[in-house]
Structure 1
Amino acid sequence: MLKRVIAYAHELLENSVKPGETVIDGTCGNGNDSLFLSNLVGSDGNVLAFDIQEQAINNTRKLLENEAKNNVTLIQESHHKILEYLNEDQRERIGGAIFNLGYLPGSDKEIITKPESTISAIEVIGSFLKPGGIIVLVVYHGHPGGELEKEELLNHLGKYDQKKFNVVRYGFINQKNSPPFVLAIEKK
């Protein structure tokens, strides 16, 4: 059976992330991925959860409090500033990362992820990712600005050295309204 994109994204991370690791939610949104990652890394792990919107941070905080999770660090900041929250001891030790690109559902649709900040974050995380670690991008591109981000990501990731990374695209091609798809980057 084919999986929906979020289920596939989570499966990739389940196969990569180990308890006790540090992982990254590049766009915490409503907190669902932060909660998922929190459960994967367990009480000895840590989730760095980024979002530029106060509403997203508050939504995530509320969800995590309801689930009694305290291994998530909420950061109201653009994910392109991730290097400020990592240290050299973590190089090649980050277990994985996830991004839901686009806009926060139910919020201002003018506030969207941008290709330059997403690519910058991916580059930093890639240098800190453990061998076998995965960065998952769920690309929602059916909004103004989304097509540009999609094209720039595909162009950028298509140039990754295949000796260092595997990059895969997964998504449905027969659905209407610009269906989201997954881009996954695995460090060799």
Structure 2
Amino acid sequence: MKLNTINIAHGWMCQYLKAGDLCIDATAGRGHDTVFLCELVGDTGRVLAFDIQEEAVNSTKFLLKEKGLKAEVYLESHTHMDHYVKPETVDGIVFNFGYLPGGDHSMSTKADTSKLAIEKGLVLLKRHGVMSLCIYHGGDTGFEEKEVLMTYLKSLDAKAYTVAVCELYNKPNHPPLAVLIQKH
């Protein structure tokens, strides 16, 4: 398996998530993380996926159907995921910040709403819950978002959270970052 940001995040999440867990794909995109979470939590678990783009929601639903998996997929901002689950009930949350792969680059995640969604996600996580962030900041989007998110993450109380940042250090052109968070 090739070492990349997604594989780092998925490998880490696999260590903590299990059958029966409640998980959220906060940025559904093409549905690959939604499928990944569904496979981890199995038939006894629950997965919710959110995206503001109809194209992403349709792609996610299509991939789930193709794989024979079920998840609750919402055409909704990740800033509203707290309307669907209660605080301290979620085992894992996955984010991919940037734009929809193969989609319109003018439509991408933004620093203010991404930070708000992370804040809400941290409240939703139960004790020992985990969150992964893949921050795509190269090309034409994401530099401001990366700086805002990294500043915020560095400020998190070390007694309440552990935050690890993985960077593909020798890759050119601003490779994405994998950020791994565990709630204590």
* TM superposition score normalised by structure 2: 0.95
The answer to whether the 8 Å contact 1:14/1:40 transfers is yes
1 CA distance for matches of 2:95 and 2:88? 19
Letter in 1 for 2:46: N
The answer to whether the 8 Å contact 1:12/1:134 transfers is no
CA displacement 1:100-147 (0-9 Å, x = unmatched): 110001111000001111111111111121222111000100133400
Q: CA deviation at 1:3?
A: 3.0
Structure 2 CA distance for partners of 1:143 and 1:85, relative to 1, 3 Å: farther
Match of 1:106 in 2: 102
Runs of 4+ in 1 over 4 A off after TM superposition: none
Structure 1 residue 146 corresponds to structure 2 residue 142: yes
1 CA distance for matches of 2:110 and 2:64? 27
Q: CA deviation at 1:46?
A: 0.9
Match of 1:4 in 2: 4
Correspondence for 1:175 among 159, 171, 179: 171
The answer to whether the 8 Å contact 1:142/1:179 transfers is yes
Q: What SS does structure 2 have at the residue aligned with 1:156?
A: helix
Structure 1 residue 128 corresponds to structure 2 residue 127: no
Correspondence for 1:118 among 111, 114, 119: 114
Q: CA deviation at 1:33?
A: 0.4
The answer to whether the 8 Å contact 2:17/2:92 transfers is yes
User: Gaps spanning 5+ residues in structure 2: where?
Assistant: none
Larger mean CA deviation between 34-43 and 130-139 belongs to 130-139
Match of 2:31 in 1: 31
Q: CA deviation at 1:99?
A: 0.8
* Structural mapping, 1:1-80, within 5 Å: 3-70=3-70, 72-80=71-79
Q: Report the number of matched residues.
A: 184
Q: What SS does structure 2 have at the residue aligned with 1:49?
A: strand
Q: CA deviation at 1:31?
A: 0.6
The answer to whether the 8 Å contact 1:25/1:49 transfers is yes
The answer to whether the 8 Å contact 1:31/1:64 transfers is yes
Larger mean CA deviation between 14-23 and 145-154 belongs to 14-23
User: Gaps spanning 5+ residues in structure 1: where?
Assistant: none
Aligned-residue CA RMSD in angstroms? 1.4
Larger mean CA deviation between 103-112 and 13-22 belongs to 13-22
Letter in 1 for 2:41: V
* Structural mapping, 1:145-164, within 5 Å: 145-164=141-160
Q: What percentage of residue pairs aligned between the two structures are identical?
A: 39
Structure 1 residue 165 corresponds to structure 2 residue 164: no
Q: What SS does structure 2 have at the residue aligned with 1:157?
A: helix
The answer to whether the 8 Å contact 2:82/2:124 transfers is no
